[in-house]
Chain A
Amino acid sequence: AQKITQTQPGMFVQEKEAVTLDCTYDTSDPSYGLFWYKQPSSGEMIFLIYQGSYDQQNATEGRYSLNFQKARKSANLVISASQLGDSAMYFCAMNLRGTYKYIFGTGTRLKVLA
Chain B
Amino acid sequence: KAGVTQTPRYLIKTRGQQVTLSCSPISGHRSVSWYQQTPGQGLQFLFEYFSETQRNKGNFPGRFSGRQFSNSRSEMNVSTLELGDSALYLCASSLEGGDYEQYFGPGTRLTVT
Question: A residues touching B (Cβ–Cβ < 8 Å)?
Answer: 33, 35, 37, 42-47, 50, 52, 91, 93, 95, 97-107
Contacts and interface: CB of A to CB of B under 8 A. Distances in A.
Contact of A100 (B44, B48, B105, B107): B48
A33 B99 contact: yes
Interface stretch (B13-21, B61-69, B73-81, B90-98): B90-98
Contacts of A98: 98
A13 to B, nearest CB: 22
Nearest to A48: B101
Do most interface residues of chain B lie in helix, strand or loop, or is the interface mixed? Answer: strand
Contact of A47 (B33, B55, B101): B101
B31 A45 contact: no
Contacts of A47: 101-103
The size class of the interface chain B forms with chain A is 20 to 34
A27 B26 CA distance: 31
6 contacts: A35-B101, A45-B104, A100-B55, A103-B45, A105-B42, A106-B42
A99 B105 CA distance: 22
B101 to A, nearest CB: 4
Contacts of B48: 100-102
A100 B98 contact: yes
